[in-house]
Chain A
């Protein structure tokens, strides 16, 4: 029983950490690095965030 009661206390914390880590890195990837693979070859995200990529120092072309 102790194992069962321990789970709800620890899992949400690490689950939330993992989930937020994923959300933040995914946002960074989409805004700063994605080169068109997701949008079927046409670099839509690359062009949408073109100026931000250049001025934040990410390699763009």
Chain B
């Protein structure tokens, strides 16, 4: 169960990461490239010479073409790592599940909301050129805290829901209560965490396009992982039944 679950998570995550990478290359690279062009223009203006911008370029260890080529590699690696963790968590939390297709999908949607959606709404992604490099440490810390806190809250809500069901509460009352608690607690968490404090100087339309592409990439990665994972379990169940 454990090894199978991790293996299926890895496979589904790797594939979903590749698909997300293809989407990111086609859709995300457009605003990303525009943001880099703007950043370079600002650099030239700041140094008042093209030579300065040229020197800046040579400071890169990895050139732009290779960075773009490594985009799907990066998303596939992140997808596989998330998939492995996802398979591990599923094996430990959903032991008693009878319909793994359904519970895999539900667990995947919950994981997407907790690990990707909530942090992305609180600390939205930014294109290159936005954000003070001096504050990247604290921004990374708060980003990680937002992931850990929202996952912890999801686990707590899930445990509370199981306890209420064990006490014999009917499904509709239980789901209303847990849903209302989720809205209030996530709302409080959202307001309680400090804002990122990043000054945005790129055009609003570019920022919107970039953030939409970024959230799309993450949604494809997580929902693709969920569907692939659940389907692999479903296929295994069909094979075992025959």
Contacts and interface: CB of A to CB of B under 8 A. Distances in A.
Chain A bound to chain B: yes
B24 A27 contact: no
B224 interface: no
B57 to A, nearest CB: 12
A22 to B, nearest CB: 11
B53 interface: no
Interface stretch (B161-169, B212-220, B230-238): B212-220
A47 B213 CA distance: 20
Interface string B80-98: 1110110010000000000
Interface centre among B2, B24, B71, B123 (most CB of A within 10 A): B71
What interface size band does chain A fall in?
20 to 34
Contacts of B123: 57, 59
Interface string B204-217: 00000010011101
A54 B127 contact: yes
B41 interface: no
Given A20-B84, A31-B78, A55 B70 contact: no
A34 B88 CA distance: 24
B236 to A, nearest CB: 19
A44 to B, nearest CB: 5
Contacts of B127: 54
A51 B136 contact: no
Interface in A31-61: 31-33, 35, 42-44, 47-61
B119 A57 contact: yes
B137 to A, nearest CB: 8
B70 A51 contact: yes
Given A17-B2, A24-B81, A51 B71 contact: yes
A9 interface: no
A13 to B, nearest CB: 7
B77 A27 contact: yes
B71 A52 contact: yes
A51 B29 contact: yes
A21 B82 CA distance: 10
A54 B133 CA distance: 14
Contacts of B136: 35, 59-61
Nearest to A39: B61
B2 A13 contact: yes
Contact of A54 (B62, B88, B128, B140): B128
25 contacts: A16-B3, A20-B84, A20-B88, A21-B88, A24-B88, A28-B78, A42-B61, A43-B61, A47-B61, A51-B32, A52-B24, A52-B72, A52-B75, A54-B32, A54-B128, A55-B71, A56-B78, A57-B120, A57-B124, A58-B140, A59-B136, A59-B139, A60-B128, A61-B128, A61-B131
> Lowest 4 CB-CB distances: which A-B pairs, in order?
A52-B74, A57-B125, A47-B62, A49-B74
